[in-house]
Amino acid sequence: MYLPAEIASNTYKTMVEVSPTEFDQMLARGWRRFGPVYFRPSCSACQACVPIRVPVDKFQLTKSQRRAQEKSRHLRLEIREPKVDQERLELYHRWHKVRERDRGWEESPITAEEYGIQFCWPHPCAREFAYYDRDKLVAVGYVDETPEALSSMYFFYEPELGSLSLGIASVLHEIEIARQRHLKYLYLGFRVIGCSSMEYKMQFRPHELLVVRPAEHDIPLLLPETEFAARK
- Report pLDDT digits (tens) over 192-205: 877 777 888 999 99
The answer as to whether 152 is a domain residue is: yes
Q: Helix H segments across 29-145? A: 63-71, 86-103, 112-119
Give, for 73, the enclosing helix (H) or strand (E): none
Question: For the range 113-119, what are the long-range contacts, defined as Cβ-Cβ under 8 Å and sequence gap of 24 or more?
Answer: 115/84, 115/88, 115/89, 116/84, 117/35, 117/36, 118/34, 118/35, 119/34, 119/35, 119/82, 119/84, 119/153, 119/154
pLDDT, averaged across the chain? 93
The answer as to whether 32 is a domain residue is: no
The answer as to whether 72 is a domain residue is: yes
Domain CATH number, residue 102: 3.40.630.30
Band of residue 7 on the pLDDT scale cut at 50, 70, 90? low
**Longest distance between any two alpha carbons in the chain, whole Å:** 50
The answer as to whether 15 is a domain residue is: no
CB-based contacts of 67, cutoff 8 Å, min separation 6: 165
Q: Average pLDDT, stretch 50-74?
A: 97
The answer as to whether 196 is a domain residue is: yes
The pLDDT tens digits of the residues spanning 110-168 come to 999 999 999 999 999 999 999 999 999 999 999 999 999 999 999 999 999 999 999 99
Q: What global pTM score does this model have?
A: 0.94
The answer as to whether 163 is a domain residue is: yes
Q: Which domain, by its residues, includes 146? A: 51-211+222-231
| Number of domains within the chain | 1
The answer as to whether 8 is a domain residue is: no
The answer as to whether 140 is a domain residue is: yes
